[in-house]
Homo-oligomer: A and B are copies of this chain.
């Protein structure tokens, strides 16, 4: 180890998803000393197969490993999926950080270090359909470390391509629900008739009336109504009720509104649980606006809790002796 750094890193943490790889060099308090990222998500590797994972890891972290060859390395996200570097099979709810650490997968990098990869989580209710998450469990672990008061009972909402509503009790994920909100928006805008009247220049900044109307219509919907309600994205444009520039916002409001109608119905089963949003700032603001229309205020809005979650994972795995960060 070199001695010319003021603060020694104790962990290299990788947040390795579908479209990007992010590496965090962390100190003994879980503080991020340095962040790097590349576009080498698991669906965009520089070479096919395992060699691609090696090459992406070397390109982003090779100099760090050369400098600190004994630095523990952990990873979370799609890198542990069946299409990842090595598969870390799902663990079942109720799931906590200890279970994630106990059932981690390990892959030996050609650069030297073992990389400990977090599993995803499966929720498998007896009378329902199974649901899965991979990556979000790390974000949730980070949120609970940053806000220990949430561990007792909380609803953690992670908006995105496949939004998650995770219900926390006693520091464990007891159940969760996925919504294909982001992917539905993208696929319907690009590939269905609903995109035909939308502006092609990507204009999204409007007065918000489209979004509000979408939310209001979603609240009015009964069971099974969505495949009908979506068609209004076309008819409101055809009949001039909404300007074409407002149609993307209408569709967004309709889809986020549906997610909120269903998610808040789940939340009603655990009354009083605080709702926490985790995600990109602009997307969280959109969800905050939507929640406000439903008269719900999140108890906290957190941006990226993955580094803290990966640190917790490393602590639980016995790789790091440091204490969780408290900000």
Contacts and interface: CB of A to CB of B under 8 A. Distances in A.
Interface of A: 122, 124, 129-132, 162, 177-181, 183-184, 187-188, 190-193, 217-218, 221-232, 234-236, 238-239, 241, 255, 257-263, 265
B192 A225 contact: no
A228 B179 contact: yes
Copies in the complex: 2
A187 B184 CA distance: 10
Contact of A227 (B131, B232, B259): B259
B258 A227 contact: yes
B122 A239 contact: yes
Contacts of A129: 217, 229, 232, 235-236, 241
Interface centre among A130, A221, A257 (most CB of B within 10 A): A130
B162 A231 contact: yes
Q: Is the contact region of chain A dominated by helix, strand, or loop, or is it mixed?
A: helix
A55 to B, nearest CB: 24
Given A235-B129, A239-B122, A225 B223 contact: yes
B226 A227 contact: yes
B180 A132 contact: no
Contacts of A234: 132
A265 B178 CA distance: 26
A241 B130 contact: yes
A222 B236 CA distance: 25
A39 to B, nearest CB: 20
Contact of A221 (B180, B190, B223): B223
A122 to B, nearest CB: 7
Nearest to A122: B239
Contact of A228 (B177, B230, B232): B177
Given A122-B239, A129-B235, A132-B238, A223 B262 contact: yes
Contacts of A226: 224, 226-227, 258
Contacts of A230: 180, 184
Given A191-B187, A192-B183, A178 B231 contact: yes
B222 A262 contact: yes
Contact of A192 (B131, B187, B193, B261): B187
